[in-house]
Amino acid sequence: MSTIIELLKEKKLLVIDGSFASELEKAGLNLCDSLWSAKALYENPELVTKVHESYFESGAGIAITGSYQAHVQGLLKKGFTHEKAIELIKLSVKLAKKARENCLKKHPERKLAIAAAVGPYGAYLADGSEYVGNYGLSVKELEEFHEEKIEALASENPDFFAFETIPSFDEVRAYVNILKRHENITGWFTFSCKDEKHISEGVEISEVAKFLDKENQVHAIGVNCTKPEYIEPLICEIKKATDKPVAVYPNTGEKYDPVTKTWSGEPVDFIKYAKRWYESGARLIGGCCRTSPDEIKAVCKFAKSI
């Protein structure tokens, strides 16, 4: 197992993979479902491995598991038994590891890491709440919601965790409390942001970064699932509050409608932006919604040049 800190000792820039869901949809999987991309874990696990492999082959060094929307409660609501729900969550790590194993057979010299994805409570609601964050739940209730899933993922020994698309400060507090009970878990915390300065619920990202700065199990802080034009100033805000590495993996710039679950608009020149993110201080870069192996390949090419 490798930590983010260990990997950054060897490389100036770590490349995270791109959109998991977009590649599933390209392959024909219908994700109009309350479980979204987690649906693939039971409907087409072979495709999950294939998508992870495609990103590794594009040069990504970190694969994020397909567990973002695989919450125990969501799987139970879908009709799975508790035992099966836990099994599917664990499977997300196993499938990513299988993809890594397949890639290392061809490229044994590479160092590849698995980040276990933990999506916010809003992802379970499946109504776009991860871009708002005002759930009306206490920190304790959020801990109870997340902890069993985190324990299931940890039991499969991913390299570290990706606590991602976090919209609220209370969810951060819940995760931190869980981490204190599980000292073997490390990872990054990345936020969905509403503008150049604030996370989705309206708190300044510098305030959250300052809170996380003292947490030794948090190895990187950053932004994901956010407009690319917001990223550069957000990096600057984070760096005001912490010296921890900054991780960014935004969307392509197209606009998402959570009601119709459709996208509109045109993507940005992703690599042009990515170079600026690195220059601003990001040390982990990848892609979120609508990105593909093509964008990741371009980021990898840039990473090799620095």
Residues at the annotated binding site for Zn(2+)?
A: 225, 288-289
H-helix or E-strand spanning residue 282 = strand 282-285
Closest CA to 226 of 130, 114, 121: 130
Closest CA to 125 of 237, 232, 34: 34
The beta strand positions in 140-200, using DSSP E, are 160-166, 187-191
As beta bridge partners, residue 14 has 284
Position 245: which residue type?
A: P
Query: Tokens in use for 55?
Result: 């990103």
Asked if residues 122 and 133 have their Cβ atoms less than 8 Å apart, the reply is yes
Q: State the binding site.
A: 225, 288-289
Query: Tokens in use for 87?
Result: 């099994």
CA–CA distances in Å: residue 267 to residues 183, 191, 222: 40, 21, 21
Position 192: which residue type?
A: S
* Backbone angle region of 128, left / alpha / beta, with phi > 0 → left and psi within -120 to 50 → alpha: left
CA–CA distances in Å: residue 1 to residues 74, 127, 210, 211: 29, 35, 28, 27
